[in-house]
Amino acid sequence: MTADADAGAGMTWRGRGGAVLPRWVLVPAAVGLALVVVPVVALVLATPWPDLPDLLTSRSAVEALWLSLRTSVLATVICAALGVPLALVLARASFPGQRVVRALVLLPLALPPVVGGVALLEAFGRRGLVGEPLAVLGLEIGFTTAAVVLAQTFVALPFLVLSLEGALRGRREGAEDVAATLGAAPSRVLTRVTLPAVAPGLVSGLVLAWARALGEFGATITFAGSLPGVTQTLPLHVYVTRSSDPEGAIAMSLLLVVVALVVTTAVYRPPQRPRAARAPDPAAASSGPPPTTTAPTTTAPADPGPSGPAVDVARPAPAAATVTARVPDRDVDATISVAAGEVVAVVGPNGAGKSTLLAAAAGLVPGTLAVDDGPVEAAPVHRRRVGWVPQQPTAVARRTLDDVAFGPRAAGLRPDAAHGRAHAELRLLDADHLAEVPSTALSGGQARRVAIARALAADPRLLLLDEPFASLDTAVAHEVRTALRDRLAASPCSTLLVTHDPLDLLLLADRVVVMEDGRVVDDRPVADVLGAPRTTFTARLAGINLLRGTAVADGLDTPTGRISGVPGDGGPPEVGAGGVAVFDPAAVAVHRTPPGGSPRNTIPVRVTGVRPHGALVRVHATSDDGTHLAADLTPAALADLDVRAGERLLFVVKAAEVRVVGL
């Protein structure tokens, strides 16, 4: 039955969060629940309730219960100490034989417990592989309480590893990378970012491991025996007394069920889907005045409120930097220099290597970074002092203020000083009202401001911005861009900015570097790149048509034919040298047949699309060699031509409208 048929027949059921399920799933779900509940109910009905207090307070029962609780808790602690590192290695490392190692770790899940007990006995028994040398030293494990703990750990460890590895693999490593660029050492990243982020999976794994250890029987009785007060846990006590005291065995079984049920109910929480939340209205965030929108000063005294005293955040002088990325796997080999306090925009088509360049500067992929005081290519990520803002902002702490203060705290600042610096950076980006907002409650624009503030609060020598305004709507992008412009104007920071938006070039950048196929192909001031583009990508970025070719006496020989034009700034290119012909889409006329009259450049094209462009309509097309070209027409002219995607037309432009520029 299809989903539509289900809905039409009234056979759907809406669950939590609006999830729609077919009603038939309730039947097998109910059967599965009954399979668990009915035996428990039968146990409750069979319990000798009048004699229950005496049965539960017998000396043997109390000893067995206390031994079970002590050993299962100790086994869980050992599972945590060993299982968390093991899960981290399996989830985040890559090494030969990894699948075999994982299979061995999970092997106890598939083994009958008694087989595990035999294996433990052969390893740690008096005559075992490890046990015999230990016995010579006077240490015996088999048939002791230590054997109980070891057996419980053996069967419970896979539950923790499986749960935590799944949680780690389901989490992207962006937050960890950001934390490292903020100066956090690997151990700090692990304890302050990674483990808190996967806390639900860790807790679930610990509860499952404890429950499995509490109920362990087969491996324990084989490896440790059933010595009252020493190795006879509650499950073994139930087994031993079942034939001689059936009512006592039932009572002990009920006690075991109740203990396990209470603990798992109280502690275990399944992973929750994140809830969408709205950040509070800035005007309602506090009773104080709204955040200022005036241009900030270079040295800003922070007002951290209850977090601590005001902190002066004078910034160090910006540093010059040179970044070299050589990543053969991605075919990237590029070097870019940034002057002290300069903002260099890096542009290029998708896959050109722009993000790889930034990752190399941060130390996330192979590459070198040199600053005023010398090269630091050998330094680990957390010692490079770069501020990295990835394409998708990701928080490293739950509260916005703690998120922004993460870098200063990693550098050793006390909480009040770190929070003061965080408040100052948030204020400089008009975001101080977000300090107490949970990181998960921020909107897209707010999250971008916070991510930029977080990077700057760490006092980076080089700020790395990877498309910081991507996926924001126009109005929000403008607000964040303006806030960043004011911040960099007030307190300059050497910056590499990857972008696809010409507004970022015009409002933020001092220079533009163009990358194609992993190489730098152009490096000039913003006005020069946009005014006289040398690549197809920058021509499209500037809204200009561009054809590449070889210079001839009166123009350029291109794959589409000879293009006549006038020399651009700097004079005509040398005959035989490479050059580009650029012309505005507004200068292009569109015809179905070759026009007469004065000599013109005629370019056969195939229409790929038609889109509004202000008061005009832009016709997008490709030439025979695949070069993208555009023409701007009035709606009336477009209607007269009846232009449709896929048809062949002629783009015609006068020679006087074409500028020929040398490369």
Look up the CATH number of the domain holding residue 648. 2.40.50.100
CATH number at residue 53: 1.10.3720.10
Shared domain check, 260 and 341: no
Residue 12 has pLDDT above 70, yes or no: no
Tokens in use for 311?
């902190």
Residue entry with tokens 């001689």? 244
Please check whether residue 544 lies inside any domain of the structure: no
Give tens-digit pLDDT for 140-168: 999 999 999 999 999 999 999 999 998 89
Shared domain check, 516 and 411: yes
Where does the pLDDT of residue 434 fall: very low under 50, low under 70, confident under 90, or very high at 90 and above?
A: very high
Give tens-digit pLDDT for 609-631: 998 988 899 999 999 888 889 99
- What 3 state SS string does 466-484 have? ECCCCCCCHHHHHHHHHHH
Q: Report the share of the chain in percent with pLDDT over 70.
A: 87
Shared domain check, 474 and 587: no
Shared domain check, 620 and 604: yes
DSSP 91-150: HH---TTHHHHHHHHHHHHHS-HHHHHHHHHHHHSTTSTTHHHHHHTT---TTSHHHHHH
Residue 420 has pLDDT above 90, yes or no: yes
Higher pLDDT, 384 or 607: 607
- pLDDT, residue 111, reads 92
CA distance 142 to 123: 10
Q: How far is CA 338 from CA 362, 463, 511, 523, 593, in A?
A: 15, 11, 9, 11, 51
Give tens-digit pLDDT for 467-502: 998 878 878 888 888 889 888 888 889 999 999 888
Nearest to 605 by CA among 572, 629, 571, 641: 629
- What 3 state SS string does 429-467 have? CCCHHHCCCEHHHCCHHHHHHHHHHHHHHCCCCEEEEEC
228: left (phi over 0), alpha (psi -120 to 50) or beta: beta
- pLDDT, residue 23, reads 83
Shared domain check, 587 and 478: no
Shared domain check, 23 and 53: no
Chain center to CA of 235: 45
Please check whether residue 285 lies inside any domain of the structure: no
HSE, side-chain direction, 13 A CA sphere, residue 407: 30
- pLDDT, residue 376, reads 56
- pLDDT, residue 259, reads 83
Q: How far is CA 139 from CA 130, 143, 227, 310, 446, in A?
A: 11, 12, 19, 60, 61
Nearest to 421 by CA among 583, 262, 310, 295: 310
- pLDDT, residue 547, reads 87
Its pTM stands at 0.71
Where does the pLDDT of residue 363 fall: very low under 50, low under 70, confident under 90, or very high at 90 and above?
A: confident
As for how many domains the chain has, the answer is 4
- Collect contacts of 59-65 with beta carbons under 8 A, ≥24 apart: 60/228, 60/232, 60/237, 60/241, 61/234, 61/237, 61/248, 61/251, 61/252, 61/255, 63/228, 63/229, 63/232, 64/228, 64/232, 64/233, 64/234, 64/236, 64/237, 64/252, 65/234, 65/255, 65/259
Last residue of a domain, one of 237, 267, 297: 267
Shared domain check, 223 and 152: yes
- pLDDT, residue 228, reads 92
Residue 273 has pLDDT above 60, yes or no: no
Tokens in use for 176?
């960890």
Shared domain check, 555 and 512: no
H-helix or E-strand containing 607? strand 600-613
Please check whether residue 375 lies inside any domain of the structure: yes
CA distance 593 to 526: 39
Shared domain check, 509 and 652: no
- pLDDT, residue 307, reads 40
Query: What is the mean predicted confidence (pLDDT) over 523-546?
Result: 85
CATH number at residue 360: 3.40.50.300
DSSP annotation of 81 reads H
Please check whether residue 306 lies inside any domain of the structure: no
Shared domain check, 476 and 344: yes
Shared domain check, 506 and 375: yes
Last residue of a domain, one of 27, 46, 65: 46
- pLDDT, residue 70, reads 95
Report the mean per-residue pLDDT for the chain.
84
Shared domain check, 82 and 36: no
The CA R_g of the chain, rounded to the nearest whole Å, is 35
Write the single-letter amino acid at 581.
Answer: A
Per the structure, the complete domain to which residue 359 belongs is given by 319-521
Q: Report the share of the chain in percent with pLDDT over 90.
A: 47
